[in-house]
A = this chain, B = another copy of it.
């Protein structure tokens, strides 16, 4: 199971603590963490995961791995700048957003567009046409965030495993791939 943890590259002490605990709990549940690979929330989540023996993937915006935080096991160097936010989202079965600024908002938007569940801790609130958009699943603690994200990721994994059994499903999926 791969869970994305997203948030600012500079963050408050409270967010750092939340992210570190999220990382610890995800590792204990056996989840691989994917993130943007930089500092702040991303680094805290990776540090937490490493302290519990977890595996961490950092999908980096730049041209080499020099900006990867020291707790990234696998630096993926995309060279595509902020467009890498799409890859951080699509690589995960569920997302935990902690705080966050506009970069995090773009990631949340991409996840929701792709139907990838987003669990939020003190993060963006969205509304349009005077109605609140409740797609982000709001929780209050790191433990709740991890429990919810893991459960949603499992449900998503099961759907993905089940899908190819349906007639035609395999072909539909192939059409979506570019190469």
Chain A positions within 8 Å of B, measured between CB atoms, are 2, 9, 32, 34, 36, 38, 55, 57, 59-67, 74-83, 85-87, 90-91, 99-103, 105-106, 108-110, 112-114, 122-129, 160, 163-164, 170, 173-179
Contacts and interface: CB of A to CB of B under 8 A. Distances in A.
A49 B170 CA distance: 26
A86 B177 CA distance: 16
B66 A173 contact: yes
A20 to B, nearest CB: 20
A160 B86 contact: no
Number of copies: 4
B91 A77 contact: yes
A54 to B, nearest CB: 13
Contact of A113 (B75, B101, B129, B160): B101
A121 B38 CA distance: 35
Given A36-B179, A76-B91, A124 B126 contact: yes
A125 B133 CA distance: 10
Contacts of A173: 64, 66-67
Contacts of A55: 74
Contact of A110 (B2, B82, B108): B82
A74 B179 contact: no
Contacts of A34: 76
